[in-house]
A and B are shown apart, each in its own frame.
Chain A
């Protein structure tokens, strides 16, 4: 909303620097996004009185005019127009004036006679078409010769405030509304002049009606016939203000229509009555599939949910409250206008506007709720601005109106409770009054407040509290720390563990990335992920961002490639973030629904680590995972050999180099090497390591509280055992078997040597474990050690592993 200061000043005598006014507006919630200072138009053009007109001795298409600029001296001008007579006041462009078209006025001879300036027509001064190119613009007789024409026409310098109006304030989509708020905040008087109402009984009464089914969406509809509008002349001021407010002056009727909307906030629509079939208007619901070409030239397809304005024959001529049609548009030949000033249901206008994708000034106002009592004033103002040449008929007013709005009870205690202030009852009443709220005492320290019709946004006590606060000034509300909650807080165990995950991964040298949530089907496919599992956006920014990521891999791989392209060396990146799947696709996803509760969506928190470059690969990934597992004491989690479809997205891993993250019997992630084809598609060099896991179940694998165990005072004995075992038995199986078999004396176990090659046959390897044995009660004997050794040997044998003697 662009509000010129001169226009605001018609309603309240605001003074002061533009930036101070802008600040006052901003602190009312009417945020000023820009302040433009506009100079006076037409510098150098002054009022001149015609003294005498004389024939040019050497030309008959121009004449000589003597004018007086107020100093009593006659100044000779050559002029091509003949419409002025002695005594007329006319605009004179003095010497040195630069005309709007760029021409500079200089003293020059025309056919031997001096011309000391130029008398101007309205179009030459860009003051409208009045009088045409050939007629000099004759000014009102009250003008003072010698004074600037801009002053005479009320076109002084101005300031335009570009105000962002919130969706709640329909009333401030008008200059008068902004002025009312501003006056309240600055403690200035505010007045909205009553335009006169002069009805010509000879003018026909407008034929307007509501069709059944339309009443609910149209609480009020008025029609007024105005005859003789071709004679209307709108003041230069109206056109200038429209321009300053950002609207192009078009023709007197259209200009007045826009002016009334901007000034009062009441959208309205003039129809050319001669073009209106049946000579009247009917408000009705559209028929399903009905089409209408709106003023912007677009054919609009409507439905029964939309409201249209139709002519007397039933043909639609406009979409109610949004935009008119082309059929009855005002033109230069329009003589009689049927003016529609109505009120439409805000939600219905919003819904239709959304469906049609049509944003208009009318919709902006109607969908926020227009003052239902504004129509009469708007019609009067419309007629007033058209001038006495147009004859206005009696207004037909239909619709059942809106239910009366009950007064709102305002408790002073509630005001102070919500704001933390100590305002008195009188102070509250005084703050609300200038906005049009009438507060009558209603019991001790309470008011019954009548809400003005232009504030449909205020219907509850709390709305009034905001009004009190606004006018009082938010900056005048005292500041206090909120009370401390009764219970101390900390991060949740999951949140704490998540922070630890980040720290542990950073400890491995990996950097944290933040990758995009949106991916394309191609990106998923490049990562061997099934795009069919992904949720699709209805309205993506572009098709390359049409899906929600089902895995962190595409983002991490993209980031790795981005860095490789910039000569980055070996690097590891990690991310913790949400991934999304359709729950109905993919057996594993269905079995474990996401962490989060929206139906139709399997959203879960994923952990992803991608390592590329020398030294990356499956081994790095396993080591990084082990850092996490042990750093977080995830004793319920372990890595186990993975089958082909243990967990969604397994195809992104090298099938021979992947292990499953098992929590109990359930796989919650995979650790290993990026599948060669995926690595190739992202230009990842060598072997890339990858960890992907569901974070929530993974972190649940942590030990709960640990009990302290006493540390043994007795010496330990290390037992080194090497086994020859086939590749089909994993180190994990053997290690676990040994641990179980070693029993209560075992405190630590680790694999310390792996050997493949002679003298072992193909498919065989040697795994050497060190078992540390210790008792809390005594020094171990050889018999103890022998017993463990035998048990370990038996357990290994059961797996087909033979103890190597040596």
Chain B
């Protein structure tokens, strides 16, 4: 073992033996410091011939590098151990709190805590629950589905085969999972229709609220992440006049008596006939104002009679059953209800905003 190897060996032992930051610092000085063997050998380089100096210099360089690595690793180990020690020192038995609370509010209560003002539910939650309740009262159930969907449920079963131009209506976020463009964030709540009909036979009276995603740049009226409410009714004898009636009933319940829904022809691959629906402007009541651009109506969503192709995809007999469906924006309803100018406020979670509702 030459002198360099001996110096490395000794440094390794010193660093390894250090158990505190102070000891490690001392080991560092001893291994690298001015009086260390390495320093002496480095100083002695100048007495050597050029050939030998280069060779020896390289060896010393490698030795230093090796010791530096050891030092850094050991410092990290000690830091981690110190963090664990601190954690251990700060350790709390949280179950003490559980068992202390066991008396609260029961026969063993010794004192009442101070009452606190209740927190606020998010505006979107409040509107969503209100809308759910309206439909529950009409006999609908509340269904749910996943936010990450497959191509089948979001597109194909909804009568949008691959490359269908209607897919261009939805700017879709795709995930890097499975086959390319096979897994996506649902662009609407309509895939819940498919899941409902796949899971059981009609009659189905359901609404499905949930988060949806479209690759839109956020602005005052659009968010890439938003909430929709899907409705699906499938039964014998359901017609478009029931669709219009149900929309009227909802509009009346949510916006107040005298407000109604209006249908205009439109196109969706999963409904036929398809319509856009507008509601009486909530600001002016139909007289015409800025919110409704003078028309007295505000567009709220899309709807229509379930397309027979969708029924076929899920194995429902379109001769026996007919149905209607719609999707409307819950965030839009929330904005309408509160006269909210910029829908992006919903996402900031500013406590000063949250506590207004």
Contact = CB atoms under 8 A, between A and B. Distances in A.
Interface of A: 26-29, 31, 166-169, 346-347, 350-351, 354, 367-368, 416-421, 460, 462-463, 465-466, 469-470, 474-475, 477-486, 488-492, 495, 499, 502-503, 505-518, 535-541, 548, 559, 562-563, 566, 568, 571-574, 577-578, 580, 582, 596-601, 603, 618-619, 622-623, 626, 630, 638-641, 654-659, 671-672, 716, 718, 727, 730-733, 735, 747-752, 754, 767, 769-770, 772
Interface string B31-66: 000000000000000000000000000000000000
Contacts of A420: 239-242
A750 B99 contact: yes
B125 A465 contact: no
Contacts of B355: 511
B-side interface mostly: mixed
Given A513-B349, A752-B103, A350 B139 contact: no
B99 A732 contact: yes
A128 B208 CA distance: 58
Given A347-B163, A495-B142, A599-B150, A536 B176 contact: yes
Interface string B93-128: 111111111111111101000001111111011000
Interface string B144-179: 111111100000000001111110110001111110
Nearest to A569: B351
B99 A769 contact: yes
B118 A479 contact: no
Given A421-B241, A477-B244, A727-B91, 9 more contacts: A481-B245, A511-B355, A516-B225, A559-B348, A601-B183, A656-B90, A732-B99, A733-B95, A748-B106
A514 B163 contact: no
B24 to A, nearest CB: 21
A322 to B, nearest CB: 13
Interface of B: 84, 87-108, 110, 116-122, 124-125, 129, 132, 136, 138-142, 144-150, 161-166, 168-169, 173-178, 180-181, 183, 185, 203, 205, 211, 213, 215, 217, 224-225, 233, 235, 237-246, 248-249, 262-267, 269, 272-276, 305, 307-308, 322, 324, 346-352, 354-355
Contacts of B140: 485, 489
A169 B349 contact: no
B108 A772 contact: yes
A499 B129 contact: yes
Nearest to B183: A600
Given A167-B169, A466-B274, A514-B124, A572 B119 contact: yes
16 contacts: A29-B266, A346-B165, A466-B272, A475-B263, A489-B205, A516-B347, A598-B149, A598-B150, A601-B148, A601-B183, A639-B98, A656-B91, A672-B94, A750-B99, A751-B96, A772-B107
Contacts of A767: 96
Given A512-B125, A598-B183, A479 B103 contact: no
A455 to B, nearest CB: 13
A603 to B, nearest CB: 5
A580 B241 contact: no
Nearest to A687: B90
Nearest to B141: A489
A348 B95 CA distance: 65
Contacts of B244: 474, 477, 479
Contacts of A508: 116, 119
A759 B144 CA distance: 59
Nearest to A654: B87
Given A601-B183, A639-B95, A640-B95, A26 B148 contact: no
B343 to A, nearest CB: 12
A480 B274 CA distance: 18
A531 B306 CA distance: 41
A525 B121 CA distance: 29
A657 B91 contact: yes
A748 B102 CA distance: 8
Contact of A486 (B105, B129, B161, B203): B203
Contact of A474 (B129, B144, B178, B264): B264
B318 to A, nearest CB: 8
Contacts of B185: 517
A541 B215 contact: yes
A509 B142 contact: no
A733 B273 CA distance: 65
Contacts of A749: 99, 102, 108
Contacts of B176: 535-538
A510 B349 CA distance: 12
Given A486-B203, A566-B352, A600-B178, A511 B240 contact: no
A603 B148 contact: yes
A513 B100 contact: no
A224 to B, nearest CB: 29
A536 B185 CA distance: 11
A505 B120 CA distance: 9
B222 to A, nearest CB: 12
Contacts of A754: 96, 100
A735 B98 CA distance: 10
Contacts of B98: 622, 626, 638-639, 659, 731-732
* Pairs of residues from A and B, 9 with the lowest C-beta to C-beta distance, nearest first: A420-B241, A29-B265, A750-B103, A166-B267, A420-B239, A656-B91, A732-B95, A751-B99, A466-B273
B265 A474 contact: yes
A598 B168 CA distance: 23
B155 to A, nearest CB: 13
Given A418-B239, A482-B233, A535 B273 contact: no
B102 A539 contact: no
A572 to B, nearest CB: 7
B103 A770 contact: yes
A601 B132 CA distance: 28
A167 B267 contact: yes
Given A474-B264, A568-B351, A511 B119 contact: yes
Contact of A536 (B132, B175, B242, B262): B175
